[in-house]
Amino acid sequence: MCFRTLRMLKLDHPKRTSTRTERLYFYLFIAGNNISLMNITDGAKRESESSLVFKEGTIVMRPDGGADVVLSCSLVEEGVGMGGMGGGSLFSRTPATLVLRDVPVGPDESLDTLTPFVPPSVPDPDLILFENKVSSPEIPNAGMLLHADCNEQEVMCEISRYTPRGLQESSDPAYFMVSLSVEGLDFSTSLILQTLPVEKDQTTLTQSKLSLPLSQSGTLLTKVIFLVFSDINSVSAPLRGDVLLNCGFKQEETPLAPDVGLEWRLQHRGRGRKVLEMKTKLDDTEEATVVHGERNGSSVDAALLLSEGNVSMSLTQLKVVDEGTYICTVNLGHFHAQQVIQLHIIQPPQVSLSEEKLVLNTNSPQTLSCHCAKYYPLDAQMEWFFLPPTETEPKLFPNQGSLSSHRQHGDGTFTLSSHVTILPSFSPGTKITCRVTHPALDDPLHISIVVEPAQPDSYWWVLGFLVVTVLFFYQVMK
């Protein structure tokens, strides 16, 4: 586990005393494996036993083998009259913090590096601090969050109010949707949080923006009741191949509903269509499952859905029209959440040259073509190089010639040709190479041909043959 050498975070809020209002500043120091919180009021300093972490990706270790991860998030709200065109609504963002308690730690992690997370010693109703225990249900692959900050990977965290379908919005309990993903990693999950009851008394504070009661430590106590996750954000698959789009769900031990609904949709270039729909009872056998697939070759394993919450969809015999954004939506009673997966169809090009043998023509230029056929997607790049026999490094053709227009085939693939001119001044033995770059290729593809010496003119060959023939018969006739 890695830590920054030194980080300092400054928070401030007014603290009212019997005589005046002071500003109370919190300084969080993280130096090596030591964390301390220093409260500074009017120049007076005192060391606090509390450890408050508001730095994205900061980790505090718990003695029971779990880690508390503190994430910097945004509370996203729909705002009306915020200057949008036509008086429309925009979204506002307010800084918020999410504390995930008891994230499982692997056996390789050190358990004695840091103290557990402790909320602020002075609760602040202006801070939006969600505190959540992740053990039930467990967030899959949550361990990826432990090292995201150290690996300089940004954690994207958005929180918004959530109203269950068919229920009126209320504050007891309140629900929130949390979207989590990590830059550069296949980690994405959508959580539905439910606020927990708070014992209220005269000292109970109310969060100023959300109008929800805070715990004695100043946090919004929540629990995860439902989540939908995926371990892939984007996947590439070959044309006419197969692919598995990963998606799964978990819920709290007390089921939210007796049955579950699943829908897979495809969005591409502004158009959408349903791919597969499934409904089944969670406490029943897969014989009660109803599946409606609108694409041939799409399927979900009902047994895995019932046993593991695995709603991954497989697609066979992929076509270009299967490319796009797939949305996996899981419905449990009043609740639903989804994941988005990008599917890219790829097909490497077939590359060939127009000539199997290139003999130098000393009288006129020649045209050599490079054909790049049956590839997908469209963005293929073709370049020409030549290597004279007296040199060791190939050179880029000064004139890259001309390109044909793209030709699209019935299966959606493309073909493109590039034409280059071979001048009579080329030296025999020169190696000419066509290099093709395409997303479906791990490395650029090269195809080459060597310029052969010019052959004697056929007229002189014929004349010489006739002279030899005449001389032969002349000698015979003598």
Span 266-290, pLDDT tens digits: 999 888 999 999 999 887 665 667 8
Is it the case that residue 24 has pLDDT exceeding 50?
no
State both tokens at 343.
């599917």
Is it the case that residue 263 has pLDDT exceeding 80?
yes
| Residues 322, 320: Cα–Cα separation, whole Å | 5
Q: Position 10: which residue type? A: K
Q: What is the pLDDT of residue 143?
A: 78
Going by C-alpha positions, the residue among 361, 377, 357 that lies closest to residue 448 is 357
Is it the case that residue 325 has pLDDT exceeding 60?
yes
For the residues 161-165, what does the mean pLDDT come to? Answer: 91
Return the beta strands (E) in 123-247 as ranges. 129-133, 155-161, 175-182, 188-195, 220-230, 234-238, 243-245
- H helices of 165-301, where? none
Is it the case that residue 194 has pLDDT exceeding 60?
yes
Do 79 and 65 form a contact (C-beta atoms < 8 A)?
Answer: no
Highest mean pLDDT among 210-219, 253-262, 442-451: 442-451
Going by C-alpha positions, the residue among 268, 274, 120 that lies closest to residue 205 is 120
Do 58 and 29 form a contact (C-beta atoms < 8 A)?
Answer: no
Name residues whose C-beta falls within 8 Å of residue 4's C-beta, 6 or more positions apart in sequence. Answer: 30, 150
Name residues whose C-beta falls within 8 Å of residue 135's C-beta, 6 or more positions apart in sequence. Answer: 66, 101, 102
Q: What is the pLDDT of residue 116?
A: 64
| Residues 372, 378: Cα–Cα separation, whole Å | 11
Q: What is the signed CA dihedral for 251, 256, 258, 263, rounded to 10 degrees?
A: -60
Q: Which of 165-169, 278-282, 431-435, 439-443 has the lowest mean pLDDT?
A: 165-169
Q: Position 35: which residue type? A: I
* % of the chain surpassing 70 pLDDT: 76
Instruction: Round the average pLDDT of the chain to a whole number and report it.
Output: 81
Do 369 and 418 form a contact (C-beta atoms < 8 A)?
Answer: yes
Do 346 and 238 form a contact (C-beta atoms < 8 A)?
Answer: yes
Going by C-alpha positions, the residue among 474, 447, 329 that lies closest to residue 382 is 447
Q: What global pTM score does this model have?
A: 0.78
| Residues 247, 230: Cα–Cα separation, whole Å | 5
Do 263 and 275 form a contact (C-beta atoms < 8 A)?
Answer: no
| Residues 202, 206: Cα–Cα separation, whole Å | 11
Whose tokens are 């090009």? That residue is 349
Whose tokens are 């469209």? That residue is 378
For the residues 392-418, what does the mean pLDDT come to? Answer: 92
Highest mean pLDDT among 1-15, 173-187, 282-296: 173-187
Q: Position 278: which residue type? A: M
pLDDT tier, 461 (very low <50, low <70, confident <90, very high otherwise): low
For the residues 359-384, what does the mean pLDDT come to? Answer: 93
Q: What is the pLDDT of residue 122?
A: 86
| Residues 235, 3: Cα–Cα separation, whole Å | 32
Q: Phi first, then psi: what are they for 126, rounded to 5°?
A: -85, -20
What residues pair up with 178 in beta bridges, in sequence order?
Answer: 159, 191
